[in-house]
Amino acid sequence: MNEGSIMYSAKGMISCPVDNTFKIISKKFTILLIRNMLSNQCRFNQFLETIPGINSKTLSARLREMEKNGLIRRKVYHDPPLRVEYFLTEKGLAAKPILDQMAEYSLRHCSSVIFEDGKPRTLQEVVH
């Protein structure tokens, strides 16, 4: 860090924590996969069906990266029929406050593209 007075920098810091998190979650679909896993989706085909624009190849690559980054773990059930499920690790679950703030941001500040009635809302009003 040679950034001196830049927000979120401090003594003894060797890289920017905002930038580091960005590198972990900024690839297309990673945030949406975390979102879906927070809703207890765990299967490849569920992700494929509910995330618009994703395809098998990209989904496989993304899940592999997320596993490598410690965000998810892959569980294989060997009893027939063979099944694979994906779960958020503690490090993956820890991203929930980021997603909450991302949701809150658009609910409040981009409501015209989020809601039929265009009215801003808080996260608390939306999540039950």
Classify residue 125 as exposed, middle or buried by CB count within 10 Å of its CB (0-12, 13-18, 19+).
exposed
Quick one: which of 84, 79, 72 has its CA closest to 24?
72
User: Which of residues 79 and 116 has its CB atom nearest to a copy of itself in the complex?
Assistant: 116
Quick one: which of 101, 111, 110 has its CA closest to 18?
101
Does residue 122 belong to the site contacting a copy of itself (CB under 8 A)? no
Q: Which amino acid is at 107?
A: L
Interaction mask 53-82, a copy of itself, x per CB under 8 A: ------------------------------
Return residues touching a copy of itself (CB under 8 A): 2-3, 5-8, 10, 12-22, 24-26, 28, 31-32, 35-36, 38-39, 41, 50, 91, 94-95, 97-110, 113-117, 123, 126-127
